[in-house]
Amino acid sequence: MDFVRPEVLQGIARFRDAIAGVGVSLLGFYWAIGSIGFMSIVGSSLVIAGALLVFAGIQRGRFRSATGGAGVVHVDEGQVTYFGPQDGGSVVIADLSKVELCPSNHGAAQWVLYDPATAPLYIPTDAEGADTLFDVFSSLDGLQTEKMLAAMKSRRKKHVVVWQSKPVALH
């Protein structure tokens, strides 16, 4: 595919979920208007499912940033692990108390994951596999996805608290 510019290929890869949703919706629309009975119902369902996939795919695409940063992120069995060139660590997702987005003077911004039992975990937004953090953050109770995406797009030079757990009442 030497005839396609690399920026276009990166854009397609970034929004691949939304593009798949458009394809599912088009197939569903074709079945919905071109068939009768059961296939028409299946087609209508696919149109709805495709529209939801487009919505989620656009959010995921906005979350994905450049790649090629330092380190690798691995999410497995309720735990986020970051393997960096100089540092790294892991946090348990259920134990997270706060998630921040911190700008960096040199390179990409960093996610900071706070777990009271461990030191804060700094993960560059452009690290290999950092896009898997979207699912982790989406599972956090009360996270506002649009606020998180706006913070990523903004070029402010201050820490932004993206999510914080609710304090536990002792009585």
Residue 16 pLDDT more than 80? yes
Q: Are 134 and 105 part of one and the same domain? A: yes
Q: Are 89 and 150 part of one and the same domain? A: yes
The token pair at 159 is 């820490």
Which range among 17-21, 71-75, 79-83, 153-157 shows the weakest confidence by mean pLDDT?
Answer: 153-157
Domain encompassing residue 21: 6-63
Q: Are 97 and 158 part of one and the same domain? A: yes
Nearest to 101 by CA among 142, 59, 133: 133
Q: How many CB atoms lie within 10 A of CB 97?
A: 14
**Cβ 46 vs Cβ 25: under 8 Å:** yes
Q: Are 57 and 112 part of one and the same domain? A: no
Does residue 83 belong to any structural domain of this protein?
Answer: yes
Task: Taking residues 104-118, report their average pLDDT.
Answer: 82
The domain boundary residue, chosen from 44, 63, 82: 63
Residues for the chain: how many in total? Answer: 171
Does residue 18 belong to any structural domain of this protein?
Answer: yes
As a whole-number percent, the residues of the chain with pLDDT over 90 amount to: 22
pLDDT averaged over every residue in the chain: 84
Q: Are 128 and 44 part of one and the same domain? A: no
Q: Are 11 and 81 part of one and the same domain? A: no
Note the pLDDT of residue 1.
Answer: 58
Note the pLDDT of residue 58.
Answer: 86
Does residue 17 belong to any structural domain of this protein?
Answer: yes
